[in-house]
Structure 1
Amino acid sequence: MIALREDRRLPLQALAWAWPMVRERGGAVGGIVALSFLASAAALLPPYLTQRLVDDGIVGGRGDVVLQLCGAFLVLLVAGVVVEAVSRLAYLKLSAHVLFGLREQVYRHLQTLAPTYYARTRGGEILSRLDGDVAEVQRFAIDAPMGLLNAVFSLVVALVLMLSLSPLLTALVFALVPLHVAALLLSRPWLERSTHAVRQQSAAMSSFFVESLRAMKFIQATNAAPRQEAGLRAHHGDYFAALRRSQLASLGAGGVQRILSGLGVLLVFAVGGSMAAAGELSVGVVVAFIAYTTRAAGPLQTAAGVFMGWQRAKVSLERIREIAAERPTVTSPAHPLALAQPVRGGIRLDAVTFGYGDAVVLDGASLDIVAGAKFALVGASGVGKSTLIDLLQRHYDPAAGRILLDGLRLDLLELAELRRQVVVVDQDPVLMPGSVRDNLRFVAPDADDVALLRALSLAGLANFAHAGGLDKPVGASASALSRGERLRIALARAILQDPAVLILDETTSGLDLPVAQAIVAAVDRVFAGRTRIVITHNLASVGDVDRVVELRDGGLLVQSPVRAVAPLLRVV
C-alpha cells in the first residue's frame, strides 16, 4: 500500500515513502555521505593553498613552497577524481534501488484496482505517473537530503575559512542570503504551475501513442494517417509550450540566484580590491576569498535547486497520491476460509444486486448452478453478462445478496484461490509479449514442456505443439497468431490452471460454426464433470447444455434446453 496522506507535510511524506528502501541500504548511504564530505573538503582546500602559493611562494620568492603546493594540488586533483567516481557509482546503485522500489509499490497497488479504474483512466496517464512522476519523487527523496547535508557541511567549512581571511568581506557576501530566500519564495507558484502543465502534456502525449499504436491497423484501413499526424503535431505544440513555460520558470529562478551570487563576487572585488590596494589585505587573501565566495555560492545554489526540485516533486507526489487514493473494490479476508478438496464447482446466486452508480445491472437475481453442470448464459448485448462473470471472479462484490462457491461466500475466500478455481476464456484473450511457452507458463510457472505440449494438444493444437510451436513468438498484440490459435492457447492455459469452474465469455463469437463447435467440443471433452458456463449469442455453437439461463431486466430466467424460455427465477 502506498502511504500517502492528504495533508500539508508533503516533503516529509516523500521522504517517509522512500525511507524503507533507503534504510535497507543504510551502509551505502553512510558511505556516500562520507565520500561527499570528503570531496567537499578537498574542493575547499585549493583556495587556501592558493593564498599560500601567492603570498608565501610567488610574492615571497620561495620556489620550494611553489613546488610543494603544486604537488599538493595534483594529489587533490587525482583524489577528487577517484572519490567522485566511487561516490557516483554508489549513488547510482542506491538511486536505482529506491526508484525501482517506489515504482514496484505503485504497480503493486495498481494491480489491486477494479476494471472500472482502467476503463476511465487513459493508459498514457498511468504510464506517465509510473515513469516520470515516481522518478521525480525518487530524485527529491534521495538528492534533497544528501544535497542539503553536503551544502550545510560545505557552507560551514567555507564560512569558517572565509571568517579567518576577512570577517568584513564575509559579512558582505552573507548579507545577500535574505535576497536569495525571497527570490525563491516569489518564484514558487510559477514553478509549480509550469511543472504541473508539463506533466499533463507529457501524459496526454503518452496516451496518444498508446492508443494510436493499438489502433494502427484501423488507422491504416480508414486512411486516417494524416489526421493522426496532425493530432501528434498538436500534442507536440502543446507540450513544447508547456515545456517552454517550465524552462522559463527555471531559468528565471536560477538566473536570479546566479545574479545574486555574481553580485557577491563583485562586492568582494570592489571592497577586497580596494583594501588590497590600500595595503590592508594581501593579494593572496583577496584571490583566495574570491574563490571561497564562488564556492560558498554553491551551497546556496544547492538549496535553491532543492527548493525548485521540491516544486516539481510536489506536483508528482500529488499525481501519485491520486493513484493511492483509489481504493481496491475487493480484498482477501484476513482469515480466509478454505474450500473443501476437491473443489466441486457448485455456484449459487442469492438475491444478488449490483450496478455501476445509478445504473442497476442485477436486481435481486438468484440462480443455482449444480456442480459439474453446463449452463448457457444468453441475453442482449450490454445487459450485464460480463458483469456477472466479474462478480463470479470477484472483481466486484454485490451491493446486496451473496454469491457462493461450494456453499462458501466468495468474499470469505482467498482471492488467489478463488480466481484459480474460476477461470475465464473470453472472445479476445490477452496474450503477453514473448513466445507461446511464455504465455502458457504465465499461469503455470512451474510447468515443464511435456505439460505444456499436452495442454496444447488437448486444446486442439497438436500439430502446432509438435512443430516447434512453444518457441513461436506471439507478436505485438498477438498479431502473429490467428484468432483460432489465440483462443486455443487461452484454452490451453485454462487446462494448465485446472479450475473447478470454466467460463467461456463469447469465446466462439464470430468464428465459423464448425470451428466454434470444435472448440466447445474440446472444452466438453477436457472439462467433462466440471462446471461450465458458456456465454453466447448462438446456442447452435455450444452443444448440449443442462440449462439455458437468460439475463434480462436485472433478473435471471432459466429454461430447459428443450422447452421455451420460462421465468423460473425472475426478480425485477
Structure 2
Amino acid sequence: MRRVMGKRLVWAVLAGAAADLAGLGLIAAAAWLITRAAQQPPLAALSVAIVATRAFATSKGVFRYVERLTGHDVALRAQAGTREDLYGALIPPQRPRHGGADLLSRMVDDTEAVQDLLVRCLLPAAAAAVAGLAAVIVGLTILPLAALVLVLVAGLALAGLALPAGTAAAARRWAARIAPARAELAGRVADLVHGSADLAAYGADEAALRRAEAADEALAALERRQARVHAAALAGGTLLQGLTVAAVVLLAQGAQVGSVGTAVLALTALVSFEPVLPLAAAGERMAGITAALRRLREVRAAAPAVADPAAPAPRPESPLTVEVEDLVVRHSPAPEETRPALDGVSLRLTPGRRVAIVGPSGAGKSTLLAALMRLVEPESGRITVNGADVRDLAGDDVRELMTGLTQDPYIFRTTLRDNLRLAGPDAGDERLRRAVDDARLGDWVERTGWDAELGEDGRTVSGGQLQRLALARALLYDPPVLLLDEPAEALDEETADRLMADLLDVTRDRTTLLVTHRLKGLESVDEVVVLEEGRVTQRGRHDELVAVPGYYRDLWESEVLTRR
C-alpha cells in the first residue's frame, strides 16, 4: 500500500510541476506572440507560437486535473490510514487519556492535517521549486546576465522560503493553542447538548453558556491572529512579486533585449510567482499541521494496558475451566501510594457453573472482570483457561472466550437490528429473535420494529429496555464464559427484580460470572463470592452466607427491610 501511495505521490508531484511549467510556457509563448504580432511579421513566423500557446493551454488543464486527482487520492488515503491507526489506538486494551470531545476533535480536525500536509504543503512546494527553476532558465536563455539570475532567485527565494518561514514562526506562537481551544469549545458544546436537562434542573445553564461563549471567543481571537498573519503574508508576497518584475524589466531595458524579449522576461517573472506565493499560507498552515500531528502521535503513543505475546498460544477449546489464582491488580504504578484493586483473589469457574460477585462500590468487582477480559495487567497471580495462562494468549482470543454485558452498555444511533448485529454480524432473523426472546424483549421488539432507529446512547429506550437489549447482544455473541457487570444498575426495584429473574433463568447451565449488588435470586447460583477492599472476605452459597455474620447477611437484611 505504501509503495502504491508513494508512486501516486510522485505522479502528483510530476503532474503539478508539469501544470506549472505549462502555465509558464503559456504566458511566455503568449507574450512573445502578442508582442511579435504587433510588429506585423508574416503569418508563418507566428505559427509555432500559435501552436505552442494552444498546446500549453490544453496541457495545463490536463496536468492540473491529473495532479488534483492523484494528489487528493493520496491525501485521502493517507488521512484514512491515519484515522484507522487512531481507531486502533482507542479500542481496548488501549487507554486514551483524553476526553470524548477532545478525541472527537483529534479524530476530525487533526486528521485533516495529514491531507493538508500533502495537498497544501508538499505538493505546492515541489511544483514551485520546478517552476522557479524553469523561470530562471527561460530568463538566462533570453538574457544571459548574472544580475537577472540574482534578481529572480532572490525574489523567488524571499517569497518561497523566507516568507513561509516567517509565517510559520509567527503562526507557531499560537497554532499549538488553536487545536486545544477547539477541543475546549467542543467539550463545552457537548456539555450543553448532552447535559442540558441537568443544567436546567439546577439553574446552571447560564454559567455553562457563559463558559461556552468564553471558549468560543478565545478560539475566535486565535483565529483572527492567524487571519492577520495570512493577510500580511499575502501583501508581502505581492509586493515581492511586483518589485522582482520591475527589477527584471529594468535589467532587460538596460541590456536592450527589445520589446519582445522584455515582455517575455517580465511576464515570465510575473507568472513564476504564481506557484510560489501560496507557500506563505502553506508555511502558516504547517505550524498548525505540526501541532495536529503531535497531538495524533500522543494518542497513538499511548501504551496499551496489556501487551499481546509475540507468539500467542493456541486458543483453548470449549468446554472451558477458568481459574483465578491469588490475583493482585493495582491501577496506580506506585505500589506504596495505593492499595491494590484486587489483593489475592482466587476463584474457579467450571463448565456450566454460575458464580456471583458481591461487594460494596470500589471493592474491585469490575476490575476482576477487566482482568478476565485482558483489559488490565495483573501485578501478580494468574488467570488460566484450561490450564493456559491468559498472558500467553492473544487478547482478542481471550475476549472471544470471556465477555458479555459491561456496566455501561452503549446503544448506537442505528437500527435495533444493527445494534444487535454488533455481536453477530452474520446472524439471521431466527437467531436474532431467539436472543431478544431470551432477554425477555420480544414483545417490545414487535411493537418497536426491527428497523426502528434507536437514539444515540439509548436515549430513545428506557433503562430496563437498554439493559435487556445489551443482554440480548451478549447472549447473541454467546461466549463460552458469560461475564455480566451490574446488569440491574440504575433500574427501579421492580424492573431490576424482573431483569435479574429473567437473567438467572436464561443463564441456567451457562458458565456465568455475575457482578451484582442485588441479592434477590442469588439462591439459584452455585457460589457467591464477597469482595471487600479487593479481598475475598466470604464465599459460599446464598443460604450459607445469610446464616453467618458478615457483609452479605447485613446487605441481605437491609434489602429485605427495604422491600417491606
Q: What TM bracket, shorter-length normalisation?
A: 0.7 to 0.9
The one of 148, 153, 158 equivalent to 1:169 is 148
Equivalent pair of 1:558/1:565 in contact (CA under 8 Å): no
The one of 246, 250, 254 equivalent to 2:226 is 246
1:311 paired with 2:287, answer: yes
Structure 1 residues 431 and 524, CA gap change in structure 2 (3 angstroms): same
- Match of 2:341, SS state, is strand
1:398 paired with 2:378, answer: yes
> Using the alignment, how far apart are the partners of 1:510 and 1:201 within structure 2?
35
> Using the alignment, how far apart are the partners of 1:354 and 1:415 within structure 2?
19
Query: Which residue is 1:24 aligned to?
Result: 4
> Using the alignment, how far apart are the partners of 1:51 and 1:462 within structure 2?
79
> Using the alignment, how far apart are the partners of 2:257 and 2:496 within structure 1?
97
Structure 1 segments unaligned to the other structure (5+ residues) = 1-19
> Using the alignment, how far apart are the partners of 1:466 and 1:317 within structure 2?
48
Any residues of structure 2 matched to 1:48-63 within 5 Å, and which? 48-62=28-42
Paired residue type of 1:362:
A
1:236 paired with 2:216, answer: yes
> Using the alignment, how far apart are the partners of 2:280 and 2:219 within structure 1?
26
Query: Which residue is 1:452 aligned to?
Result: 432
Equivalent pair of 1:455/1:495 in contact (CA under 8 Å): yes
Moved more, 412-421 or 44-53: 44-53
Cα distance per residue 1:224-244 (max 9 Å; x no partner): 333332222111100011112
1:474 paired with 2:454, answer: yes
Query: Which residue is 1:139 aligned to?
Result: 116
Cα distance per residue 1:193-248 (max 9 Å; x no partner): 22112112112112223343332332343343333322221111000111122223
> Using the alignment, how far apart are the partners of 2:71 and 2:163 within structure 1?
31
Query: Which residue is 2:555 aligned to?
Result: none
> Using the alignment, how far apart are the partners of 1:353 and 1:74 within structure 2?
75
> Using the alignment, how far apart are the partners of 1:511 and 1:310 within structure 2?
51
Cα distance per residue 1:498-536 (max 9 Å; x no partner): 123223322113434443333223323332222323322
Equivalent pair of 1:346/1:531 in contact (CA under 8 Å): no
Query: Which residue is 1:5 aligned to?
Result: none
Equivalent pair of 1:53/1:65 in contact (CA under 8 Å): no
Paired residue type of 1:355:
H
Query: Which residue is 1:322 aligned to?
Result: 298
> Using the alignment, how far apart are the partners of 2:359 and 2:106 within structure 1?
39
Query: Which residue is 1:154 aligned to?
Result: 131
> Using the alignment, how far apart are the partners of 1:489 and 1:155 within structure 2?
64
Paired residue type of 1:325:
A
**By how many angstroms is 1:545 displaced?**
2.8
Paired residue type of 1:283:
S
- Match of 1:335, SS state, is coil
Equivalent pair of 2:164/2:280 in contact (CA under 8 Å): yes
**By how many angstroms is 1:162 displaced?**
0.8
1:504 paired with 2:484, answer: yes
Structure 1 residues 29 and 509, CA gap change in structure 2 (3 angstroms): closer
1:102 paired with 2:75, answer: no
Moved more, 480-489 or 249-258: 249-258
Moved more, 167-176 or 433-442: 167-176
**By how many angstroms is 1:255 displaced?**
3.5
Query: Which residue is 1:12 aligned to?
Result: none
Any residues of structure 2 matched to 1:85-234 within 5 Å, and which? 85-114=65-94, 117-118=95-96, 120-141=97-118, 143-166=120-143, 167=145, 168-176=147-155, 179-180=158-159, 181-234=161-214
Equivalent pair of 2:504/2:521 in contact (CA under 8 Å): no
Structure 2 length as normaliser, TM-score?
Answer: 0.87
> Using the alignment, how far apart are the partners of 1:441 and 1:532 within structure 2?
22
> Using the alignment, how far apart are the partners of 2:157 and 2:327 within structure 1?
70
1:331 paired with 2:307, answer: yes
> Using the alignment, how far apart are the partners of 2:67 and 2:506 within structure 1?
60
Query: Which residue is 1:564 aligned to?
Result: 548
Equivalent pair of 1:350/1:366 in contact (CA under 8 Å): yes
> Using the alignment, how far apart are the partners of 1:46 and 1:344 within structure 2?
76
Query: Which residue is 2:409 aligned to?
Result: 429
**By how many angstroms is 1:26 displaced?**
4.9
Query: Which residue is 1:262 aligned to?
Result: 242
**By how many angstroms is 1:65 displaced?**
5.3
Structure 1 residues 353 and 379, CA gap change in structure 2 (3 angstroms): same
Equivalent pair of 1:504/1:533 in contact (CA under 8 Å): yes
The one of 350, 353, 360 equivalent to 2:326 is 350
Paired residue type of 1:235:
A
Structure 1 length as normaliser, TM-score?
Answer: 0.86
1:281 paired with 2:269, answer: no
Percent of residue pairs bearing the same amino acid type: 25
Query: Which residue is 1:537 aligned to?
Result: 517
Cα distance per residue 1:72-123 (max 9 Å; x no partner): 5455434433443343233332322221112111221222454xx44x4121
1:417 paired with 2:397, answer: yes
Cα distance per residue 1:362-421 (max 9 Å; x no partner): 353232234233333222222322222211212101112222333332212221222122
Query: Which residue is 1:360 aligned to?
Result: 339
**By how many angstroms is 1:270 displaced?**
4.0
Moved more, 204-213 or 81-90: 81-90
Matched residues, number: 541
> Using the alignment, how far apart are the partners of 2:5 and 2:158 within structure 1?
38
> Using the alignment, how far apart are the partners of 1:468 and 1:514 within structure 2?
22
**By how many angstroms is 1:324 displaced?**
2.4
Paired residue type of 2:90:
L
Cα distance per residue 1:452-511 (max 9 Å; x no partner): 011111110222344463212111221111111111111111111112322332211343
Equivalent pair of 2:230/2:281 in contact (CA under 8 Å): no
Equivalent pair of 1:345/1:501 in contact (CA under 8 Å): no
Cα distance per residue 1:419-455 (max 9 Å; x no partner): 1222232453211221111111101111111100111
Paired residue type of 1:462:
G
Cα distance per residue 1:151-209 (max 9 Å; x no partner): 23212221111112222434333244565544554544322122112112112112223
> Using the alignment, how far apart are the partners of 1:200 and 1:539 within structure 2?
46
The one of 287, 292, 303 equivalent to 2:268 is 292
Cα distance per residue 1:297-325 (max 9 Å; x no partner): 23543554554443332222221221122
The one of 13, 16, 35 equivalent to 1:36 is 16
The one of 497, 503, 525 equivalent to 1:517 is 497
> Using the alignment, how far apart are the partners of 1:347 and 1:496 within structure 2?
25
Equivalent pair of 2:327/2:378 in contact (CA under 8 Å): no
Moved more, 32-41 or 425-434: 32-41
- Match of 1:329, SS state, is coil
Moved more, 515-524 or 91-100: 515-524
> Using the alignment, how far apart are the partners of 2:534 and 2:418 within structure 1?
40
> Using the alignment, how far apart are the partners of 1:503 and 1:171 within structure 2?
75
> Using the alignment, how far apart are the partners of 2:127 and 2:156 within structure 1?
18
Equivalent pair of 2:132/2:156 in contact (CA under 8 Å): no
- Match of 2:126, SS state, is helix
Structure 2 segments unaligned to the other structure (5+ residues) = 553-564
Structure 1 residues 323 and 428, CA gap change in structure 2 (3 angstroms): closer
Paired residue type of 1:335:
A
Moved more, 144-153 or 94-103: 144-153
Cα distance per residue 1:321-372 (max 9 Å; x no partner): 2112211111332332335432334332324242334322335323223423
> Using the alignment, how far apart are the partners of 2:164 and 2:447 within structure 1?
67
